[in-house]
């Protein structure tokens, strides 16, 4: 979690309220991004709201068990989510706020809820009762696998089955917030020059991958010299590999098939002067691609279309390179998007894998002979990675792998800090 002292003064009670609304939304099936979008409209410290909500979602099972221990009958929303947020901080991040300050502010937040004045005593009793028996309450909760791992049981069992030697390390990586990683626009600045420029401004960073920098301390992008001028973009090191794998050359005709929000589109154009068509089925998200390209001073042809429906967008001219960053479970990026673990269901993986196969089949038709297609998913599940590619190769005799597929796992460490991602390069 970030420094609890807000950049702009906002009582902790308000940040707790907004964070609780985010958590409540996830519990009801909405995304964390939806909740944060609302918080940005009303909160003067959305960074604190994000940190509180993300922390609570990483430890949501623990918060729910602790609340169930403390209350014979769980309170209704939004108080239930507010107390879960407070309990997860008291239990799993006590160093971030003074315990009594947090309890006091959580009680103030309760009072500000509709009908909350009459629930202040209840909230105070729950939180202070937890503090009186903190060690015992946590010990009792930790008999539940969900509290230990911070993941649904089915997710843990699937990790055990698919990665018997790495499942614990993957879970540990999932529960550590990802660092702020940026991709340097090497068309306009060298990585070392930008790093030194930041160092002179008191911003420390270290290299990662071919063109990345990891900040020692996360900060708003508006505080990064050169960001608004297009010298860098926020992008995890695993995602940065896509642009290099596509291998664009000047003059190539390139398709970015599922482009939003545009990080990879921009990277392709940073690497070479090529003719890029960026597709996305969501016209609203396609606007984010244009915003990113405008900031970078780059241009591509943008079209709102489902890439699998060729008759709605393809003009008959084949592509030299295709990047298919396919819709997936996002199981590799839960350290950055902790709501995913609670929103996904096992049936989603089967459905998404089917969609990925359909996209592969259709886009293979628009790839030029001798051209290459890079298939990517931000997933650790084999159904969305190696199994998907093996099945495609079996049904597509004209396709061959250029190299061994790459499965990146979210095993955080000083030398190897990236999200989970899968890549395969296919040639026609």
CATH class of 12-149: mainly alpha
Contacts of residue 277, defined as CB under 8 A and 6 or more positions apart, other chains included, come to: 253, 254, 255, 256, 300, 301, 303, 319
Question: For residue 347, how many other CB atoms are within 10 A of its CB?
Answer: 8
Q: Which CATH architecture has domain 151-178+241-428?
A: 3-Layer(aba) Sandwich (3.40)
**pLDDT tens digits for the chain (428 residues)?**
444 444 447 999 999 999 999 999 999 999 999 999 999 999 999 999 999 999 999 999 999 999 999 998 889 999 999 999 999 999 998 888 999 999 999 999 999 999 999 999 999 999 999 999 999 999 999 999 999 999 999 999 999 999 999 999 999 999 999 999 999 999 999 999 999 999 999 999 999 999 999 999 999 998 999 999 999 999 999 999 999 999 999 999 999 999 999 999 999 999 999 999 999 999 999 999 999 999 999 999 999 999 999 999 999 999 999 999 999 999 999 999 999 999 999 999 999 999 999 999 999 999 999 999 999 999 999 999 999 999 999 999 999 999 999 999 998 555 668 999 999 999 99
The DSSP output letter for 97 is S
**Where do the structural domains in the chain lie, given as residue ranges?**
12-149, 151-178+241-428, 179-235
Q: What is the CATH topology of the domain spanning 179-235?
A: Alpha-Beta Plaits (3.30.70)
378 is annotated as an active-site residue? yes
- Active-site choice (22, 274, 328, 378): 378
**Both tokens assigned to 3:** 């420094």
Task: Please give the model's pTM, rounded to 2 decimal places.
Answer: 0.93
DSSP assignment string, 298-343: ---EEEE--TT-GGGT--S--EEEEEEE-----TT-TTT-TTHHHH
Question: What are the start-end ranges of the H helices in 71-165?
Answer: 79-92, 99-112, 120-132, 134-141, 145-149, 153-162
């Amino acid at each position: 979690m970030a420094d609890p002292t807000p950049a702009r003064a906002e009582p902790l009670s308000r940040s707790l309220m907004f964070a609780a609304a985010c958590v409540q939304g996830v519990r009801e099936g909405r995304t964390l991004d939806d909740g944060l979008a609302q918080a940005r409209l009303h909160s003067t410290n959305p960074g604190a709201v994000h940190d509180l909500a993300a922390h609570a979602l990483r430890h949501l099972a623990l918060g729910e068990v602790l609340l169930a221990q403390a209350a014979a009958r769980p309170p209704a929303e939004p108080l239930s989510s507010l107390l879960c947020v407070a309990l997860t901080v008291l239990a799993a991040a006590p160093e971030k706020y003074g315990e009594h300050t947090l309890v006091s502010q959580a009680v103030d937040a309760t009072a500000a809820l509709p009908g909350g004045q009459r629930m202040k005593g209840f909230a105070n009793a729950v939180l202070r009762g937890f503090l009186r028996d903190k060690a015992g309450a946590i010990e009792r909760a930790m008999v539940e696998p969900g509290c230990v791992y911070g993941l649904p049981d089915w997710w843990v069992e699937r990790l055990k089955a698919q990665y018997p030697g790495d499942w614990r390390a993957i879970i540990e990586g999932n529960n550590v917030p990802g660092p702020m990683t940026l991709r340097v626009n090497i068309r306009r600045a060298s990585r070392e020059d930008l790093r030194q420029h930041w160092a002179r401004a008191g911003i420390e960073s270290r290299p990662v991958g071919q063109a990345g920098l990891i900040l020692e301390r996360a900060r708003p992008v508006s505080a990064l010299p050169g960001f608004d001028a297009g010298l860098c973009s926020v992008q995890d090191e695993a995602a940065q590999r896509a642009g290099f794998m596509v291998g664009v050359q000047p003059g190539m005709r390139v398709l970015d098939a599922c482009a939003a929000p545009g990080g990879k589109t921009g990277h392709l154009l940073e690497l070479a002067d090529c003719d890029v068509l960026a597709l996305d089925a969501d016209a609203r998200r396609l606007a984010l691609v244009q915003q990113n390209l405008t900031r970078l001073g780059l241009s591509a042809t943008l079209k709102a279309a489902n890439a699998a429906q060729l008759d709605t967008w393809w003009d008959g001219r084949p592509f030299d390179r295709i990047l298919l960053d396919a819709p997936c479970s996002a199981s590799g990026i839960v350290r950055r998007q902790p709501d995913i673990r609670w929103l996904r269901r096992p049936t989603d993986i089967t459905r998404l894998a089917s969609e990925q196969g359909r996209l592969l089949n259709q886009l293979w038709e628009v790839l030029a002979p001798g051209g290459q297609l890079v298939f990517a998913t931000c997933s650790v599940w084999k159904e969305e990675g190696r199994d998907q590619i093996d099945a495609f190769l079996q049904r597509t005799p004209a396709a061959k792998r250029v190299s061994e597929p790459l499965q990146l796992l979210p095993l955080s460490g000083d030398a190897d800090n990236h999200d989970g991602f899968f890549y395969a390069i296919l040639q026609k």
